[in-house]
Chain A
Amino acid sequence: MRTWWGWALSVLGVLLAAAGAAVMVVLGPDSRLSTGPHAIETDDIAVVTAPEVIRWADVKIDVRAELPARKPVFIGLGNTVDVRSYLAETRRLEVTSFDRPWTITTRAVDGAPALPGAPTALDWWIATSEPRLGGATLSARLPDESVSLAILSVGSSNLAGLEVTLAYGVNNGFLKGASTSLLGLAVLWVGVLAIRSRRRDEPDGDDLGDDLEEEVVYVYVDDDGVEHEISAEEAADLEVVDEIGADDDPPRPAPGADTEPEPEPEPEPVPTVPQVVVPGVLTAADIAAGRDRPRPAPDPHPEPERVVYVFVDEDGVEHEVGEDELAEFEVVDDETDDGGGRP
């Protein structure tokens, strides 16, 4: 699963990085494409785009209209419903199609030779230029609605000699392209990390199973539960009390299986090692009890305790006697080995 995500992220990262780089290359440092000036042949008082010409949203446009002889000109961007109503009865040149970088088709529409009102007095323009003599510039970001661009002659003049320069791009497009590239590289890096992590943590048994070599580790556990690693030779002389292997793990229910609630997680089992006990080896408890040397192991088949009978003469010298001679003596004392004993 992790490998799949890693590859997916890697591919996504490459695509993002490539797309960001492409945006940077296409737009350039100023984040836009420019074309013009282009002459538009008309002697009407209005040039307007048809509703289907401006199809894009969130594109930054800069339009400059220039007229000879310092004639006043106005540029406005408005909702198509507003612009169409405004120029419905006006003689105009309508731009019916536009292809990049600059291929337009137009049609002339007859009407009144004057605007129904001063464009500067209207409140519905989305963006306008300052009315200037000889030229005007409009800068706007295209909204997500149907809009039309209108170039209007102000006053009694017309648009004869009109030249239009158009620039379009993405606001901070170069920066956004760079950001996208960096983001793509970051995604790629995360994807590569995910793939490597998967290989390191969970090797695929099919690919690597033949190279695996089982390693056996011998430990003994002292009275305090502390494990001590020992060699195989040492372990051979000791008693094996437990042996744990990877296959000894209890089976786990499949995720999502409709079974009883999952029990509390148990501690991780000890690695696959046989555990042995080494009698006679000092443990921490032995050391704490003051024993400085190991005790011999108890005889697994101890002989029955032998009783020694001793006769003490008048000089205090002890003489050993047999059980059959005991009847001749009076037992005057009975001691164990610890305390000693005399007949």
Chain B
Amino acid sequence: MRRTIVALACSLALTACAVPHERDDLTPRKTAASTDTVTTVIDRYREVRSSAVALLDPKPLSTVETGAVLAIDSGSFAVSQGSSTTQEGDTADVEVTDVEVPRFTKYPLWFSAVVRDRQLGVNRVQVFERASSVDPWLLTASPETLSGTELPAIRRADGAARTVGADDGVGMAMSPQEAADAYAAVLADPGAEQSATIADDSFIKQMRTTAATNADLENVTFSQTWEAQDVQYALRTGDGGALAFVTLLRKDTYTVADGLTVTWPEGSPQRAFLSEGISGSGTLSYLHQVLLYLPGGAGEPRALGQYGGVVGGEGGQGGGGATG
């Protein structure tokens, strides 16, 4: 008797598989990208970037990158062109180790992928975004972490990665946007009141060291500002925190005493954007994409990785410089 009942139950279950049914949830939702789409997008990006690196021409990158990443890469290409050096491209030993695909109710759609480059010893945590249904998938963020850096687990629901709103600070010491603003404030001023809420991580130390070096130039007054841009991408971590992709704008201003001109050596970013040097005042702009981890609870936000470079210069001799 039991076998008969089990057989009947299985038959009914199989019959019900394709039975028309009314959906309970009518809210428009879409998983950002299928597995095939993710693979296609990443493969295409690597192909185009390889071509750009081979040609030392950043123009093809505009078909696969946008925003801060494109600006940083274009600046990097400009530096390489100015110094007649080659660009560092992806090595062959690259693999995608993790993909996080959220679900959205409207555009833009985005997903993140962790690409490990064993030869360079780095992990690139890349974000690809589709701004509208007629736009292509473009790389918009690509902070790098050391291969030994362990990324926090991402929380998922119904197979999709959970996202965090830029202003959503529930369960954390602060929201991603507040963390980005506080992080920029601490970078700009070590004595800022937000310094008590931000961990003194390696990126902050490195930037302070660089600033100190620039300030040591004789007959030059150096100043630096940091500004956080709007946070667009943040994933919920398993501990209730967030992994936020933060873009920071850094401006280094050099004021030179009257009658003097400051120049930089060949191959330096300053030389690429301020080729004639600075007499009077000049400013170099940098963009840094920081992967900021906000632990669940009251933990202090800290950077896990970054990707940045010079993107433009203003001032200098003759009143102008290149802009990436």
Residues of A within 8 A of B (CB): 2, 5, 9, 12, 16, 51-52, 55-59, 79-86, 88, 116-117, 122-124, 144-146, 170-171, 176, 179-180, 183, 187, 190, 194
Contacts and interface: CB of A to CB of B under 8 A. Distances in A.
Contacts, number: 85
Contacts of A183: 8, 11-12, 15
B106 A58 contact: no
A187 B23 CA distance: 29
Contacts of A81: 28-30, 104-107, 109, 133
A120 to B, nearest CB: 12
B6 interface: no
Given A117-B134, A124-B133, A145 B22 contact: no
A58 B18 contact: yes
Given A85-B107, A183-B11, A190-B4, A51 B26 contact: yes
B107 A179 contact: no
A51 B15 contact: no
Interface string B129-149: 000111000000000000000
28 contacts: A2-B1, A5-B5, A9-B8, A12-B8, A51-B27, A52-B26, A55-B22, A57-B20, A57-B21, A57-B22, A81-B28, A81-B104, A81-B105, A81-B133, A82-B133, A83-B133, A84-B28, A85-B132, A86-B132, A86-B133, A116-B134, A123-B37, A146-B27, A171-B18, A180-B15, A183-B11, A183-B12, A190-B4
A74 to B, nearest CB: 15
Contacts of B8: 9, 12, 183, 187, 190
Given A52-B26, A190-B8, 12 more contacts: A2-B1, A5-B1, A56-B20, A56-B21, A57-B23, A79-B28, A86-B132, A122-B134, A145-B29, A171-B18, A183-B11, A190-B4
B106 A84 contact: yes
A86 B106 CA distance: 11
Interface in B43-61: none
B92 interface: no
A187 B15 CA distance: 14
B19 interface: yes
A145 to B, nearest CB: 7
Contacts of A56: 20-23
Nearest to B137: A123
Contact of A176 (B15, B21, B29, B133): B15
Contacts of A5: 1, 5
B17 to A, nearest CB: 8
Chain B CB count within 10 A is highest, among A9, A81, A183, for A81
Contacts of A84: 28, 106
A122 B23 CA distance: 26
Nearest to A8: B5
B166 to A, nearest CB: 20
B28 A146 contact: yes
Chain B CB count within 10 A is highest, among A5, A146, A176, for A146
